[in-house]
Amino acid sequence: MSLAVRKALLAGTAGATAMATLLGVAVTPAFAKADSTMSGPRTARAGHAFGLTVTVGDDGGAQPAKARLQVRGAHGRYQWVGGWHALHRTSYLDESWTFRVTERHRGAETFRAVISGYYAPTNTVTVSVR
């Protein structure tokens, strides 16, 4: 490509950006960022209930979603625990749900939540049951 053509392309791009700015049109991508997290205790007592809280946030406004809990089994595969639960809106941007879990056996258990819609599965939380 010749130097004259490159300059013309650059000038055209700069002109389009300047025109979009003058007209008040956003030149940034038009998508919102969504995030999903899970939090819980590090330790719990065997036979006692503890909470695992799932929170989803979206800077474009929280979308109605449901979450379902999974626990990692002995072979590293996740197994479903319970059913789907609708998340409760806590603000315009966030929703959450707290799973109540009771583990009867001692040892470490690793949990995550799968969320409906376009949210990614949450991070894992490992709880040491004593």
Nearest in space to 38 (alpha carbons), one of 111, 88, 93: 111
Return the ∠ at Cα 107 (arms to 106 and 113), rounded to 5°. Answer: 110
Where in the sequence is the domain holding 44, given as residue range(s)? 34-129
Q: Tell me, rounded to whole angstroms, the distance of Cα 116 from its chain centroid.
A: 10
Query: Are 17 and 49 part of one and the same domain?
Result: no
Query: Are 40 and 98 part of one and the same domain?
Result: yes
Nearest in space to 91 (alpha carbons), one of 66, 122, 59, 123: 59
Query: Are 64 and 12 part of one and the same domain?
Result: no
CATH code of the domain covering residue 113:
2.60.40.730
Query: Are 40 and 74 part of one and the same domain?
Result: yes
The number of folded domains in the chain is 2
Query: Are 1 and 49 part of one and the same domain?
Result: no
pLDDT in tens, 18-40: 444 444 444 444 456 789 999 99
Q: Is the dihedral of CA 104, 105, 106, 109 positive or negative?
A: negative
Q: Which residues does residue 49 pair with via DSSP β-bridges, in sequence order? A: 102
pLDDT in tens, 80-129: 999 999 999 999 999 999 999 999 999 999 999 999 988 899 999 999 99
